[in-house]
Structure formats: C-alpha cells, structure tokens
Amino acid sequence: MAIQLVPGQTASAQSVATGTSIAVSFPGAVTPQDLLLAKVSVNNGVTVSSVAMTGETFAAAVQLNQTTDTQRIEGWYAKNTVGGQTQVTANFSATDTFRAIAISEWSGADTVAPLDQTASANDTGTAGAAISSPDKTPIHNGELIWGAVEGDGATALAQNSPYTLLEAETTVATASAYQIQTVAAPVHTDFNLTSATHWGVVMATFRPAFDNSGGKRPRIRMRGPRVRLYAPFPQPLILNRAASSPVVIFDPALMEAVNCPWPGVARRLDEVVASGMTPPNIVLP
C-alpha cells in the first residue's frame, strides 16, 4: 500500500504574540489508521513540551535546537490514528513570541512502527542559501521522506526537486516539504532560503504499510546461524539466530512483520511491540 497525502488535509499557523502553545485544525476530521505529521518551531531557547490531539498520541521523530539563533525546528508524528478529531496543539516549556505549527495527514503508512530514518543539520555561524540534511538510506521502497527547515531572517523559503512544498511561513521563517521515494536510496532534505542568516533543517522517513492482498504466506528458512524470512514484503528480511537456542533475535527494523498473516509470528511480534523490548527476543512457533 502506497503512502499518500490525504487530499486537503494540511494546515499551518504561526504567531508572534506571546503564548505557551499554538494550535491549528485540519479542514476535516482525521481518518482512522492514518499517520499525522507535525512541524513545530519555537524561539528563544524554549523547548517543545508536547504535541497533543484528543484521542491521539504524538511522539517526537526528530528535534533540532539551532543554538546560533536559538530557534528549534522539530518533527512529531502520531501513528495508527483513532480518528474523528481536527485540532492539534503544540505546547511549550515557557512563553515565547515566535511560534509555528504545520500539520498533514497521510494514508497508507505502517500502523505499528512507521518511523524509519532521521537526520538533522544546522549552520555554525555562517549564512546559508541552498541547505540540506545529511544523507540517510530508507530501509524500504516507497517511503515518505519529510523535511522541515527554519531560517533566521529568511524572506522566502522553497523546496528543491523532487520535493513538494507542504507550507511555508515567512513571519517565523519555517517550511516543510515531502517526497515519496519510489526506490530506496540515499536521500536528504533540500531547501533554498533567501536572505537567511542562520538555519536548521530536519528530516524523517516513514515506512509504508505492506500490501498482502495477494494472500502469500510468509516462509522461514533456517541455514546455519542465520534465518531468512520470506514474506510479501519489498525484500527478504534477515534475522539472526542464537547458535544453541531456538530463540530468534529480530532486528527492530523487522517490526513491520506484525502485518504478516502468519498468526504465530504476528502474535509474538505484537507482544514485543506492546512490551517495548529492543531488540526483541522471540521464540519461533
């Protein structure tokens, strides 16, 4: 299943009035089992305490404190939405005047562990025009690549190809953009800023849900100290096996396997996700 931006489901807000939070609402109610992303920025050394929406749980994906201009730029996400609500609120550790938030809704994302790669970068006291995050390589094809930027004093903010701009706010000087990467390859977030004196950029990638509409049954093949799981995923997933034990140690990147229809594996991976074990130890059925 491909990740897609839900049509019409983006919104943003900025403020230069004093406050300890900032809120914005989607044009329509959020759909169940979707992914929500939020760009949050605040200035003057203030931190982001939380991002909240009734019924949903947001977690920080990537956070950057640009110490040169004291402005933070962060990405937060809520997975497997309950749905039905519209307003998202970012809360801060203290009052501040420069605050911004931008939200977007995505269908087709992994509902268990969507976050994959993250990266961030900032200048060290020099101005920037064409700026980017470090390269990261997503684990899977079809991942959503999301990025955000803050540019102190920027009069214009634009994305570079193949990104699509989600929004840009010139008063607080922040923006966000995205692309869907068809084939997994090294990638970075890429922006152009006009007249920025300092800048910070963040990137996060999100996994798609796996389509098992063909009904193929995963197979496990054990050869020596390695185990290979063949499943209806974009590529085989490699696991390690303890030499003298039937315990299989799954890499955290394999959490997508909870979507597989094989009850024994799916049930045990569900238990691991619920327990928060990293790396999880699973006994094969």
Q: Can you give the pLDDT of all 285 residues of the chain as single tens digits?
A: 689 999 999 999 999 899 999 999 999 999 999 999 999 999 888 999 999 999 999 999 999 988 777 889 999 999 999 999 999 999 999 999 889 999 999 999 988 889 999 999 988 655 667 788 999 998 888 999 999 999 888 888 889 889 999 999 888 889 999 999 998 899 999 898 888 778 889 999 999 986 544 444 444 444 444 444 444 434 333 344 443 333 333 433 444 333 333 344 444 444 433 333 333 333 333
Task: Provide DSSP, 14-79.
Answer: EE-S-EEEEEEE-SSPPPTT-EEEEEEEE-TT--EEEEEETTEE-EEEEEEEETTTTEEEEEEEE-
The alpha carbon dihedral of 143, 30, 258, 212 has a sign of: negative
Nearest to 260 by CA among 223, 227, 219, 225: 219
State pLDDT tens for residues 152-167: 888 888 898 899 999 9
Q: What is the DSSP-derived secondary structure letter of residue 273?
A: H
* HSE-CB of 184 using CA atoms within 13 angstroms: 15
| Three-state secondary structure call for residue 270 | helix
Task: Tell me the three state secondary structure of residue 221.
Answer: strand
C-alpha radius of gyration, the chain, whole number: 20
pTM metric for this prediction: 0.76
DSSP 8-state assignment for residue 267: H
**Rounded CA separation 160/138 (Å):** 19
Q: What is the mean pLDDT of the chain?
A: 78
Q: Any idea where the domains of the chain sit in the sequence? A: 4-206, 219-283
Distance CA 138, CA 7 (A): 25
